[in-house]
Structure 1
Amino acid sequence: MNTTAPEPEAADGGGPLEGAVVAVAGAGGPAGHATLLRLAQAGATVVAADADPQRLAEGVDAARFAHGGATVIGDTVDLLDPGATREWAAKTEKDFGRVDGLVHLVGGWRGSTSFATTDLADWDLLHDLLIRTVQHTSLAFEGPLARSGNGRYVLISAAGASLPTAGNAAYAAAKAAAEAWTLALADGFRKSGPAGHPPAAATVLIVKALVSDAMRQARPDAAFPGFTDVHDLAEEIRRLWDRPAAEMNGTRLWLTPRP
C-alpha cells in the first residue's frame, strides 16, 4: 500500500481527467486531502467543500502545489442545510459549465461496548453525518451530473454495513441506509437515459476503515489489517472515470476482503 503522497506533477502534464470538474464533499480530512491531490494531478478542476475552513484550506493548498496550475477551490458549505448544498451545486455548474463528479467523503463514527449500551444520541449524530448529507448532496447534484453526460456520484461506505456488529448498530445502520440511498440514485440514472446508457453513475466504494500517514506515525507498531490507505482510496476514486458509466452505475466495489 502507498504510505506517501504522489510526487508533484508538471502543469503541462495533462491527465485522464483533464477538463473534468469534480466536487468533493467532506474534503477536510485525510481522505479528502488525498482525493483533492489525486484529482488535481489527474487534471480535474476540483471544487472542495467542508465545514472546517482551516482543514479545507490545508487540503486545497496542498493539491494546488501538487499540480502546478491546477484549479482547486474550497467552499465552506453546511451540507446539513439543503438550500446551501443546492446553492453550492448550482454555483459550481454555473462557474465551470459542468459537474462531472461528486465524491462524498463526509464521515463520522460512534460505537458502544455492547448492543444493550447503544446510545441513540449516537444514531442522531450519525444520521445527520452519514445519511442526511448524502441525501442533500445527491439531490443537489443529480441534475448537474446527469447533464455532464458522464457524471459520477461516489459514496465511501464501510464493510460493517454488510455485517453489523453489536457495538456498531448505529454506525452500520447509517452506512447501510446511505448505500441504499445511493443505489436508488443509480436506479434513477438508469431510468433517465436510453436503455443501457445512463447519463451518470452512482457507485459505492467499500472499505473496512481508512488509514493515513498521520495514523501510522502515531501508532508505528500497528498493522492496520484490512485498512485502505487514503492515497489508494483516492486512486480508486480517480479510476471510476476509466470505465463507461453503464459499467459503474449501481455497483458496490470492495476495497477490502468481503466479510
Structure 2
Amino acid sequence: MTSNNNGPLAGRVVAVAGAAGPAGRAALLRLAEAGATVVGADADAGRLAEAVDAARYAHGGATVTGDTVDLLDLDAARAWAARIEKEFGRIDGLVHLVGGWRGSATFAETDLADWDLLEKLLIRTVQHTSLAFAEALKRSDNGRYLLISAAGASKPTAGNAAYSASKAAAEAWTLALADDFRKAGGEEGPSTAAAILVVKALVHDAMRAERPGAKFAGFTDVKDLAEAIVGVWEQPAQEVNGNRLWLTPKP
C-alpha cells in the first residue's frame, strides 16, 4: 500500500515520535493529508492505535502505521529507524512530539524529582531519536528533524526551572544536529535540516471543551502546529536549518 500522490509531501516518509497525544494525532492527520507515508511511535499502544486508525479513516488513500517504541532505549530507537528505512526505502522526516510538564508554585518549591522525569522525557528521547535517525535523514534529498519546543526555554519562569532547562537542553542538542547537517552539506549547503518550532503552549478541542471560558491567550492550536510542521518541508533546508521557527511572539 502506498501513500496518496497528492499533496506537498507525496512520496515522503515521515516518522512521528509521541504520536498518540493530541499534537501527535493532529500531526498524523495533517502529514497523511499532505501525501506522506507516516509512521507513528508511542509508548502507549492503545492510544497509538486509536491515533493511527483516526488518520487512516480520515485519509483513506494514505499509509499510516504505528509502532510501540520505548524511546528511552537507544537501541529500540535505532531499531525503529532501521525498520522504517527497510520497509519504505527512505526516511524524510522525524517530528519529535514527546512531551511532558512538571512545575511548582515557586522556585524554592522546585522538586528535583521533576527534573529526573523531564530529563528523560524531554532530553533523553531527543538524544535517542536524533542519533537513531540522523544518518537516514542525511540520505534524504529534503530531510527534516523537527523539535517542538516552548518559549520558556528562552525565558524561564521561577516555577518552571526544571521544564525550561530541559527544553533548553533539547534545543541545544537539536542545534548541534543542525550543525552536523550543515557540515555534511559542504559548499552546496545542507539538503537536510534540523529546526525548532517554538510555542508558548498547545491547546486542542478537548481542552476548550473542559474550560469553555478560558481564552488560552498565546497558545497554539495543535492543528496549526501540524500545519506549520508540513510547511517546514516547503521552505529551503538552508533557510530553516539551525533556526527557531516561532509560532508565538518571542519573549
SS at match of 1:193: helix
1:178 aligned onto 2:199: no
Equivalents in 1 of 2:240, 2:154: separation in Å?
20
Kindly indicate whether residue 94 of structure 2 is the aligned counterpart of residue 102 of structure 1.
yes
Q: Tell me how far 1:258 sits from its aligned partner.
A: 1.0
| 1:208-259 Cα deviation digits (max 9, x unpaired) | 0000000000111100000000000000000011011111100101101111
* CA displacement at 1:197 relative to structure 2: 1.8
For structure 1, the residue ranges without an aligned partner over 5 or more in a row are: 1-10
How far apart are the structure 1 equivalents of 2:138 and 2:12? 14
- Give the one of 205, 214, 223 matched to 1:213: 205
Q: In structure 1, what is the Cα distance between the partners aligned to 2:62 and 2:30? A: 11
Question: Per the alignment, in what secondary structure is the counterpart of residue 60 of structure 1?
Answer: helix
Supply the AA of the counterpart residue of 2:247: L
Question: Does 2:247 correspond to 1:255?
Answer: yes
1:155 and 2:141 are equivalent in the alignment? no
Q: How many matched pairs?
A: 249
Question: 4+ residue stretches of structure 1 with deviation over 3 A?
Answer: none
Deviates more, 1:123-132 or 1:195-204: 195-204
Pick aligned residue for 1:134 from 123, 126, 137:
126
AA aligned to 2:137 is: L
For residues 160-218 of structure 1, the C-alpha deviation after alignment (integer angstroms, 9 at most, x for no partner) is 00110110000000000000000000000000112242131000000000000000001
Do 2:145 and 2:193's aligned partners in 1 also have CA atoms closer than 8 Å? Answer: yes
Superposed CA deviations along residues 89-137 of structure 1, whole A, max 9, x for unmatched, are 0110111000000000000000011111111000000000000000000
1:47 equivalent to 2:36? Answer no
- Compared CA separation, residues 98 and 235, structure 1 to 2 (3 A): same
Query: Is it true that 1:190 corresponds to 2:182 in the alignment?
Result: yes
User: Would you say 1:227 and 2:240 are equivalent positions?
Assistant: no
Structure 1 counterpart of 2:57, from 47, 65, 69: 65
The amino acid of 2:191's aligned partner reads P
1:244 alignment partner AA: P
1:45 CA drift (Å): 0.1
Aligned equivalents of 2:196 and 2:126: distance in 1?
A: 12
Show the counterpart of 1:77.
69
Deviations 1:38-73 (A, max 9, x none): 000000000000000111111101111111121000
Question: In 2, Cα distance between the equivalents of 1:118 and 1:243?
Answer: 40
Q: 1:124 aligns with which of 116, 127, 150?
A: 116
| 1:190–1:196 contact (8 Å) kept in structure 2 | no
1:12 CA displacement: 5.8
Identity over aligned pairs, percent: 73
Structure 2 unaligned spans of 5+: none
